[in-house]
Every structure is written in C-alpha cells, then in structure tokens.
Structure 1
Amino acid sequence: MNKYEHLYEKTISSQPIYDGRIIKVKVDEVQLPNGKTAKREIVNHQGAVAVLPLTDDGKMVAVRQFRKPLEQTIVEIPAGKLEPGEEPLTCAIRELEEETGYKAEKMELLSSFYTSPGFADELLHVYIATGLTKGESRPDEDEFVDALELSLEEAHELHRTGEIRDAKTVVAIFAWENRVLRSRG
C-alpha cells in the first residue's frame, strides 16, 4: 500500500469539454478519500519551457509583451510551449533565439515545476542561459515582443511596480539573485 493512498482521489468519470491547440479541458468526477464524490475541472497542457538569459555584463534578457488574459503588457523571461515529443532543452534553445535573438553557449536546467497543480498539469522547465551571443530575433507570426536587458535592481523594481508578476519570471529573478549572492560568498 502506498503511504499516501489515504489522500488519493479515484476517477469515476471524465468528460472532455474543450480540445484546443494549447490546452484541453475536462471535468472529472472523483471519489474522495471519505467516499463522497466531487467534480474536478482540469486543464491538460503539453508543458513549456522558460529561459533566464544572463549576459556577460550581469543583465537579464527579458521580453515585454501583451498578455490577453491579463489585458496588459508585462515583462517576462522568454518562454514557450513544448511541441509534441520535443525535448525541453531543444525548446529552450529555440524559444530564446526566436524571442530575443540570443544564442547561448551553455544552458543549465534550474528547475522543473507545476505551474498551477490545483487545476492544471502544466510542467514548466526553467533553464539558465549563459555565454550569450546576440543575433536576430524571429518571433512567431502571432507573437509581438520587445527584448530588453535588465540589471537585477531593475528587475526587482519592475516586480515591485507590477510590470513583472508572472511566476516563472519571479522565480527566475530570485534564483538569479541567489546565484549572485552565492558567487560573492
């Protein structure tokens, strides 16, 4: 017996609601550990990557773009969804170049985490890119972004003012700060 079996929710039925290009949505009826039933709205996502690109002069490369769900423009680290069967590292290399024009000499996995496990199964892989060489960006035809370089202080200021507020970028900034502090220590 699994030591966490007392927490398990058994799926009784599953009803597909939406099958889109980026997400699928379903409603599962589950049996709770206490025997009662409940409905769970679930978003399935093929996963994504994000890249914390760090220049040799200590800046983070980020992109500014409009996000329709928020109805505002925010600053984020470059990111994108995985294609079916694609390796996360391959996707990270592609997304960095497409959105910023930069190529990295080194890509190192920082962390992989679930973005919103209460309702979605999206697994996000975050890489740190170093040894950057600037080139020409090639965003997707439906993607409009401005690349910018930020110092750690500028990134914290944009976080403080709300221009940076997505989880992957906030995590990346604090990981970057931790890296800087460790290198001094």
Structure 2
Amino acid sequence: MDEGAGMFGHGHYGREENMEAMSDPLPPFHRHPIAPPDDAPWRITAASCVYENPWTRVIEEHLDSAQGEKGLYAYFAPVDCAVVVPVLGKGAGAHVHLVRQWRQAYRQYTWELPCGRLDAGETPLQAGQRELAEECGLHGGSWEVLGQWLHSDARVAGTSHCFVVRNPQTLARPPEKDRSEKDLQSHAVGLDQLWRMLDDGSICQVTTVAALLRLRLYMLDEVT
C-alpha cells in the first residue's frame, strides 16, 4: 500500500476492499440505513477503496445490470458533517455567526456557517456543538434540527446534518483551532446584511446556502 502525504495528513492509495455481490459498500461512517430497492438498475459485484484520508474515501464499484451490461462507477465518500446556524438576539438586533476561511480547491476565501466532519463515535449534534466551540468560541443555547441533505446525488456520497442554535454563550476559553483552520475568522453578521450576502453571491458555499435558505423559508418569523 502506497502512502501519499497531504498538506495536513497522509492519504492512502490502492487499499483493496473487494467484496462480492455487495448491496451497500459505503464505508461505515456514512452507510445509508436503507438497503437498495429490489428494482435498483445495477447490482454491485465488487467494490474497492482506491484512496482514503481522514476526511474522505474514493470508492470504485463494479456493476452488473439485469440486462447483462457491466459498468464501473467511482465517487467520493466523505465523512458526514454537521452544520450550525448560530442565531444571537432577536428582531432588529438579531445576527448570525459566519466564518471566513481559505478554501484551497477554489483558491479563495469563502463565507460559511460553522461546519465540520463527525469524529468517530460522535452524533451529529455532538459534532455541531464541538464545531461551534472550535470555530466560533460559542457553546450552549437552544438547539433544533434544521434539516439534512445529501452532499451530491452523483459523485459525492455523504450527508450534511444542519442545526440552528439560538443564543449560545461565549466560551471563557475557546478550544484551540486545528492547524488547518488557523486562518479561520468568526464574524457576527446582521440579518439584513446576511440576506444581501446570500442574494448577491458573497455567500456561495452550497451547504451554507442551503441552510440559510431553509432558515429564511421556514424559521424567519422565529428569529426576527
């Protein structure tokens, strides 16, 4: 097994995990609880993890159709993540905490909600509470599920679990940020400015956009 060093960790290439006639070869950290239906057009005959690091895997599947056709399908299988909408105050003074950080894949800084992967053994809520503390220095408050959605329906298999938390408090001693997030900055943004940033494209990260649109559609009257 060859190892490839990443900027903040090591990746592993070519680990064979071939499994005959698998119904669900996804890694356990995000395996879907529902088995494929009987009328699924493809049967998985073998699957391999061709690359992995602490954040994601690349899965390659060999497929057979009911008509005897063979196929090959590859996709990213990241760890599930928790997304948090921290709302402080109410009415004209309400604001939401956003984070601004560098995204190497896009060669730019982006505005996002606090978000991060689930560590081993964590529930989505526990991960959200930890990420809020690490990225914004906030804790406590009143938590509610805002929704969950798939990362992508084609090339990325994983789920974002989103929460809204009202009136969290500032930690006296926030936990130290991971070295990959040393440049991360937390900013409190008023709702009027938040909607402008969403509408003019200043906020363009898809998970953040989805969470804020859901907040605006279904819960705006509760935070204003």
TM-score for the superposition, normalised by structure 2: 0.74
1:82, CA displacement in angstroms?
0.5
The aligned length equals 183
2:81 aligned with 1:41: no
Q: CA deviation at 1:99?
A: 0.2
Match of 1:77 among 102, 113, 132: 113
Shift of 1:145: 0.9
Greater RCO (Cα-Cα under 8 Å, separation 6 or more): 1
Secondary structure, counterpart of 1:5 in structure 2: coil
Two-structure CA RMSD over aligned residues (Å): 2.2
**In structure 1, what is the Cα distance between the partners aligned to 2:96 and 2:79?**
27
1:11 alignment counterpart: 44
Cα distance, 1:121 vs structure 2 = 2.0
Identify the residue that residue 107 of structure 1 maps to in structure 2.
143
Which residue in 2 is equivalent to 1:151? 190
Partner AA of 1:31 in structure 2: D
Percent of residue pairs bearing the same amino acid type: 20
Is this contact kept in 2: 1:7–1:33, CA < 8 A? no
User: Structure 1 residue 168: deviation in Å?
Assistant: 1.5
The residue that corresponds to 1:166 in the other structure is 205
Output the amino acid matched with 2:38: E
Can you give the 5+ residue segments of structure 1 that lack an aligned partner in the other structure? none
Shift of 1:3: 11
Q: How far apart, in 1, do the equivalents of 2:69 and 2:192 lie?
A: 51
Q: Tell me the TM-score normalized by structure 1.
A: 0.88
* DSSP-derived class of the 2:180 partner: coil
CA-to-partner distance for each residue in 1:6-62, whole Å, 9 max, x for gaps? 334211222321021111112111123543222111222221101000001311111
